[in-house]
Structure 1
Amino acid sequence: MSRPSSDATKQAFDRMRFRHDWRNYQMRILSELETHLDDEKLHVVAAPGAGKTVLGLEIIRKLGCRTLVLAPSLLVRDQWIARLRDDFLDGELPDWISTDPEADVPLRFSTYQNIHQNRIRTLPPFDLICLDEAHHLRRAWWQTLIRLQETHKPVTLSLTATPPYDSEGWEWDNYNALCGPVDAEISVPELVLTGDLCPHQDLVFAAQTTDRQTYDDNREAEAELFRSLRAHPDILEMLVRSPWMTDCRNHAQEILDNPELFSAMLIYLRDAQLPVPAYARRLLRLGGAEWPVLDWQWLGIVLAAHLTKLPAALLARLKTAGALRNDRLTLPPPRFLNRVELLYDDKARLAATVEIHRLERENRRDGLRMAILMDKIGHVALKLDHDPQEYNAGAVFRALYLAEPRGDLALLTGQIICLPRALCEDLSGREVPGLPDYALIGGPEFSRAVARVNAAFSTGAVRVIVGTQAFLGQGWDAPAMNSLILGTNLARFVAVNQLRGRALRIERNIPEKTSNIWHLAIVPGDSLEGEDIARLHRRFDCFARLDRNAGQIRSYFSPKGDVQQHNAITAEMARRHDTLAADWQSALHLEHRPEPRLFRETSIGSRMRRQMVPVSSLSWLGRLREMFGQGPSDQETRRSLERLARLAVEALRELGDFSPLQEPRPEIHDGPAGYQISLHQATRFEESLFHDTLRQILDPVGNPRYIIIVRSGLFLKRFQYFAVPGRFDGNRARAEIFWRNWRGIIGQGELIYTRTPVGRGELQAARLNSHARRVAHHLSWR
Structure 2
Amino acid sequence: MRESLGRLEFNFPWRSYQANLLKNFDNHISDNHFHVIAPPGSGKTILGIEIIRKLGEKTLVLAPTLTIRNQWEDRLQSFFTKNGTYQSYSFNIKSPDDITFATYQSLHAFYKTFEDKNDYYSFFETHNIKTLVLDEAHHLKNEWWNCLIDLKNNNPFYIVALTATPPYDSNRTEVSKYFMLCGEIDDEIAVPDLVKETDLCAHQDFVYFSKPEDLEINFIVEYRRKIADFKDKLLNDKTFISFIKQHRFFDEPKAYLEDLYSNAEYFSAILIFLNACGVTIERYKLEILGFNGKETITFPTLQLEWLEVLFQNLLINDREQLLEHEPYLLRLEKELRSINVLEKRKVNFIGEDSLYKSLASSPSKLKSIVSIVSSEHESLKSDLRCVILTDYIRKEFLDTEEVDTQTINKIGVIPIFQYLRVHFSNKETLAVISGSLVIIHNTILKAFNLIEDCDSFTFTPLPVDNEFLIVTSKKRTKHSIVNIITKLFENGAIKILVGTKSLLGEGWDAPSINSLVLASFVGSFVSSNQMRGRAIRKDANKLNKTGNIWHLACIDNTVLNGGKDVDTLRRRFEAFVGVSNNNEPYIENSFERLQFPEHILDETIETLNLQTLKEAINRNDTIKKWDQAIVKGSRLLKETKIFHLGELTYKKQKQIYYFDVIRFFVAELSFAIMLFYLEFVFKSIHIVLNRGVVYFLYTFFAAFLISFGYKLYKAITLYIRYGYLDKKIKKMGIVILNTLFELGFMTTNKNSVTIVSKRIDNGDIICDLIGGDLFENALFSTALRELLEPIKSPRYLIVKTSLFRRRLNIENFYPVPEIFGDKKKNVLVFQKHWRINLGMNKLFYTRQIEGRKLLLKARLFHVYNAFNKISKQVTVWK
TM over 0.5: yes
Per-residue deviation, 1:104: 7.3
Structure 1: runs of 5+ lacking an equivalent: 1-8
| Structure 2 counterpart of 1:296 | 308
1:661 aligns with 2:749: yes
- Secondary structure, counterpart of 1:190 in structure 2: helix
1:54 aligns with 2:27: no
| Structure 2 counterpart of 1:699 | 789
Shift of the 333–79 alpha-carbon distance from structure 1 to 2, 3 Å rule, reads farther
- Secondary structure, counterpart of 2:542 in structure 1: coil
Q: Say which is worse superposed, 657-666 or 568-577, in terms of deviation.
A: 657-666
- Secondary structure, counterpart of 2:639 in structure 1: strand
How many residue pairs get matched?
763
Per-residue deviation, 1:540: 2.0
* Partner deviation per Cα, 1:459-509 (whole Å, 9 max, x = no partner): 222111111111111221111111111111112132111111100011111
| Structure 2 counterpart of 1:577 | 619
| Structure 2 counterpart of 1:776 | 872
Which of residues 479, 496, 511 is equivalent to 1:464? 496
For the 8 Å contact 1:484–1:517, the answer to whether it is kept is yes
For the 8 Å contact 2:656–2:725, the answer to whether it is kept is no
Which of residues 2, 11, 14 is equivalent to 2:6? 14
| Structure 1 counterpart of 2:335 | 317
| Structure 2 counterpart of 1:406 | 427
| Structure 2 counterpart of 1:365 | 381
1:599 aligns with 2:617: no
Shift of the 16–512 alpha-carbon distance from structure 1 to 2, 3 Å rule, reads same
Amino acid at match of 1:219: R
Which of residues 411, 419, 442 is equivalent to 2:440? 419
Per-residue deviation, 1:127: 5.2
TM-score (norm 2): 0.79
| Structure 2 counterpart of 1:454 | 486
| Structure 2 counterpart of 1:223 | 228
Per-residue deviation, 1:365: 1.1
Q: Say which is worse superposed, 358-367 or 704-713, in terms of deviation.
A: 704-713
Structure 2: runs of 5+ lacking an equivalent: 648-653, 667-711
- Secondary structure, counterpart of 2:758 in structure 1: strand
| Structure 2 counterpart of 1:397 | 417
| Structure 2 counterpart of 1:587 | 629
Matches within 5 A, 1:477-556: 477-525=509-557, 529-550=562-583, 551-556=585-590
Per-residue deviation, 1:106: 5.8
- Secondary structure, counterpart of 1:428 in structure 2: strand
- Secondary structure, counterpart of 1:401 in structure 2: helix
1:751 aligns with 2:843: yes
Per-residue deviation, 1:295: 3.8
Per-residue deviation, 1:708: 2.2
C-alpha separation in 2, matches of 1:273 and 1:522: 39
| Structure 2 counterpart of 1:434 | 464
C-alpha separation in 2, matches of 1:103 and 1:704: 50
1:680 aligns with 2:770: yes
For the 8 Å contact 1:248–1:279, the answer to whether it is kept is no
C-alpha separation in 2, matches of 1:669 and 1:776: 15
- Secondary structure, counterpart of 2:541 in structure 1: coil
Per-residue deviation, 1:275: 3.1
Per-residue deviation, 1:194: 0.9
Q: Say which is worse superposed, 159-168 or 513-522, in terms of deviation.
A: 159-168
Shift of the 269–638 alpha-carbon distance from structure 1 to 2, 3 Å rule, reads same
Per-residue deviation, 1:333: 6.6
For the 8 Å contact 2:794–2:821, the answer to whether it is kept is yes
Per-residue deviation, 1:637: 1.2
C-alpha separation in 1, matches of 2:239 and 2:142: 40
- Secondary structure, counterpart of 1:338 in structure 2: helix
| Structure 2 counterpart of 1:163 | 166
For the 8 Å contact 1:207–1:522, the answer to whether it is kept is yes
| Structure 1 counterpart of 2:702 | none
Shift of the 10–711 alpha-carbon distance from structure 1 to 2, 3 Å rule, reads farther
Q: Say which is worse superposed, 672-681 or 62-71, in terms of deviation.
A: 62-71
Amino acid at match of 2:789: D
Q: Rg bigger for which structure?
A: 2
Q: Say which is worse superposed, 353-362 or 553-562, in terms of deviation.
A: 553-562
Amino acid at match of 1:453: I
Which of residues 648, 655, 664 is equivalent to 1:611? 655
Per-residue deviation, 1:257: 5.9
1:387 aligns with 2:414: no
Amino acid at match of 1:698: L
C-alpha separation in 2, matches of 1:760 and 1:113: 47
Shift of the 251–511 alpha-carbon distance from structure 1 to 2, 3 Å rule, reads closer
Per-residue deviation, 1:641: 0.9
For the 8 Å contact 1:166–1:539, the answer to whether it is kept is no
Amino acid at match of 1:555: N
Amino acid at match of 1:738: F
C-alpha separation in 2, matches of 1:516 and 1:251: 58
- Secondary structure, counterpart of 1:415 in structure 2: coil
Which of residues 716, 733, 739 is equivalent to 2:825? 733
Amino acid at match of 1:535: T
* Partner deviation per Cα, 1:366-402 (whole Å, 9 max, x = no partner): 1111111121113233334432614221222222121
For the 8 Å contact 2:717–2:808, the answer to whether it is kept is no
For the 8 Å contact 1:709–1:720, the answer to whether it is kept is yes
For the 8 Å contact 2:516–2:535, the answer to whether it is kept is yes
Amino acid at match of 1:436: N
C-alpha separation in 1, matches of 2:32 and 2:840: 37
C-alpha separation in 2, matches of 1:763 and 1:141: 40
Q: Say which is worse superposed, 263-272 or 637-646, in terms of deviation.
A: 263-272
C-alpha separation in 2, matches of 1:52 and 1:543: 17
Q: Say which is worse superposed, 233-242 or 640-649, in terms of deviation.
A: 233-242
* Partner deviation per Cα, 1:324-377 (whole Å, 9 max, x = no partner): 57xx74312796633111213543111111111111111111111111112111
Which of residues 4, 11, 25 is equivalent to 1:33? 25
C-alpha separation in 1, matches of 2:181 and 2:715: 42
Per-residue deviation, 1:58: 1.8
| Structure 2 counterpart of 1:645 | 733
Amino acid at match of 1:473: G
C-alpha separation in 1, matches of 2:63 and 2:713: 58
Per-residue deviation, 1:658: 0.9
The structure with the largest helix share of the pair is 2
For the 8 Å contact 2:645–2:658, the answer to whether it is kept is no
Shift of the 770–645 alpha-carbon distance from structure 1 to 2, 3 Å rule, reads same
Matches within 5 A, 1:153-192: 154-167=157-170, 175-192=178-195
Which of residues 210, 215, 221 is equivalent to 2:213? 210
C-alpha separation in 2, matches of 1:315 and 1:455: 57
C-alpha separation in 1, matches of 2:173 and 2:656: 21
For the 8 Å contact 1:372–1:466, the answer to whether it is kept is yes
Shift of the 336–428 alpha-carbon distance from structure 1 to 2, 3 Å rule, reads closer
C-alpha separation in 1, matches of 2:416 and 2:826: 58
- Secondary structure, counterpart of 2:11 in structure 1: coil
* Partner deviation per Cα, 1:33-76 (whole Å, 9 max, x = no partner): 23334655433211111111211222233234554443333433
| Structure 2 counterpart of 1:564 | 606
| Structure 2 counterpart of 1:79 | 71
Shift of the 627–493 alpha-carbon distance from structure 1 to 2, 3 Å rule, reads farther
Q: Say which is worse superposed, 411-420 or 721-730, in terms of deviation.
A: 721-730
- Secondary structure, counterpart of 1:606 in structure 2: coil
Per-residue deviation, 1:536: 1.8
* Partner deviation per Cα, 1:552-571 (whole Å, 9 max, x = no partner): 22233241462012112101
C-alpha separation in 1, matches of 2:178 and 2:299: 33
Shift of the 625–458 alpha-carbon distance from structure 1 to 2, 3 Å rule, reads farther
C-alpha separation in 2, matches of 1:49 and 1:347: 34
